[in-house]
Amino acid sequence: MTLTYFDHSVPHLIEEYYQLSFSENAVPFQSTVLPVGFTHITHLFYGKQKAILNSKEMPLQDTIISGQFFRSYQLHCASESMSFGISFHPTALFKILNTDVSKLDNKHMALSEFHPEFHAKIQSVFSNFSSPESMVKHLNKFFSDIKLTTNKNTENIDIAINLIKNKEGLLSVQEILEHLNISQKTLETQFKKIVGLTPGKYVRLYRFLKLMRKYESQEIAIKDLMFMFDYYDRSHFSKDFKLFMSETPKSYFKKDYPLLKAVFKNS
């Protein structure tokens, strides 16, 4: 398995570009995939893959759009394969498609089914793949030229996202509201529509992700991280861990997850 990330030049829309490849000697491959708070579009050039969440199988083929996930799912790769993907800034997909992003929650869907018009536009970029570097160049141009939907709601949610990032998820919804001239109901409604999760869920997920990234990069011991990220005891941490990872900390730390480690290493 090889996961490679590439620099981009569209910071207001793109978090990262990536290429994920599985060689013949790496398959069959199976791994837990942790939600990372981004939406994605991924083009599978060849190979057979599927995602499984709560026993529901989602085939991954051609060009796939992926919404926000609030807990982990399983990725299965049955054959040699290669895909190229785009991770979007949390508010980017709404600005690009002008569509309620929460419709994609916990789903991988064919982009042609979800948004045929945008699928036709971006397919012309994917169909001309010659190298990852050229793909990055063409996608940067594509997203730099795209017409976006922006308004007061997107401005407010961008402010909220920046607050969450700056505080590493260590804040409450009420603290977010102190920086916005809107009601809690409006924040809840617009955040879910534009990002895909409620602000409370997103804060909770973001805090957990920051902790796991620091742990996997071996910056600090897990017990110190629990204190740093406001987990008041091990049972509190275990509850979130089981929610997001679908297994206990004890079980997870005994296993080797090369895909997760590669994702955390880049974070």
Range name among 7-11, 169-173, 250-254 with the lowest pLDDT average? 250-254
How confident is the prediction for the chain on average, in pLDDT? 91
Domains along the chain?
A: 2-145 (2.60.120.10), 152-266 (1.10.10.60)
Cβ contact 189:227 at 8 Å: no
Q: What is the DSSP pairing of strand 39-53 with strand 108-110?
A: unpaired
What element of type H or E holds 134?
A: helix 132-145
Mean pLDDT of 217-244: 78
Mean pLDDT of 223-252: 81
Mean pLDDT of 45-66: 94
Q: What is the pLDDT of residue 215?
A: 77
Q: What is the pLDDT of residue 54?
A: 87
Q: What is the pLDDT of residue 219?
A: 64
Residue that has been written with the tokens 């060009």 in this structure: 63
Q: How far apart are CA 115 and CA 67, in angstroms?
A: 13
Q: How far apart are CA 50 and CA 266, in angstroms?
A: 24
pLDDT in tens, 86-99: 999 999 999 999 99
Mean pLDDT of 58-69: 95
Range name among 12-16, 33-37, 67-71, 223-227 with the lowest pLDDT average? 223-227
Mean pLDDT of 189-211: 94
Burial 9-34 (b: 16+ CB within 10 A, else e): ebeebbbbbbbbbbeeeebebebbbb
The helix-helix angle for 199-216 and 152-166 (nearest 10°) equals: 30
Mean pLDDT of 230-255: 81
Cβ contact 111:119 at 8 Å: yes
Confidence of residue 229 (pLDDT cuts 50, 70, 90): confident
Q: What is the pLDDT of residue 257?
A: 73
Confidence of residue 134 (pLDDT cuts 50, 70, 90): very high
Mean pLDDT of 101-109: 96
Torsion over CA: 154, 155, 160, 163 (sign): positive
